[in-house]
Amino acid sequence: MKTSSGKHALVWGGLLILFGVLSLLGVYIDINRWVWVIVLLLAGLSILALFLADRREEWMLIPSYVLLAIAGLIFFSETYIMAGVFVPFYVLAAIGLPFLIVFLRDREQWWALIPAYVLFAVGLMVVLLDMRILVDMLTPAYIMFAIAIPFFVVFARNSKNWWALIPGGIMAIIGFSFMIAESAVQYVTPVVLIVVGVWIILWQFRKSSDDLLQENELDEIEQDIEE
């Protein structure tokens, strides 16, 4: 416990002192962005080294990752490797990556895929919009497909989750209708909704009939046993 408290104090206290000194220097001199890159990089690697010395302190991965991610953002911006719309994509991807790692480390933590997928999907959409790949009706089509994909994944992982095909199929068909033509939405979407609704009702009636048939068979078997 003392060791853990000591590392907490060392990390947070050291970061506060470091940024406090840099902020004070910034009042008197113009600190180059490359200085910030080096400082953030060294700080992030130092905390990572502390974690590697004792892997029980997993919380140290959080400040280490944040510092390295910010250092990377400044570096890519300064070198013009990443500019314009790729900056928000980098930020969204940097936020989503830890959630993805949480799932990869423990597959039972499937909830982490939700924020990771949303962040990556939104980041990709921002890039495609800026590159003029998503134009006109392709934008809502992309959104519909992005919503549909998780439902198809749920069904693919376990075919018993057939219900996922309903919202996934609806979203996918609406997405295709957006791709075909704007006017098609007026007809395709209502037709799809009607067809799916009829299918659900027929499936329910069939299920009820099967259940009733099974009940009758069980009654007949019970009567035969009593006789």
Q: What is the pLDDT of residues 43-87, one digit of tens each?
A: 888 888 878 877 777 777 888 888 888 888 888 877 776 666 678
Rounded to two decimals, the pTM is 0.63
What are the tens digits of pLDDT across the range 99-127?
A: 888 888 888 888 888 888 998 998 888 88
In angstroms, the CA 75 to CA 66 distance is 14
User: Which of 71-85, 180-194, 203-217 is the most confident on average?
Assistant: 71-85
In a 10 Å sphere around its CB, with 0-12 CB exposed, 13-18 middle and 19+ buried, how is residue 147 labelled?
middle
Helices (H), 59-164: 61-78, 86-105, 113-130, 138-157
Phi, psi for residue 155 in degrees, rounded to 5: -70, -40
Hey, where are the domains in the chain? 1-83, 85-134, 136-227
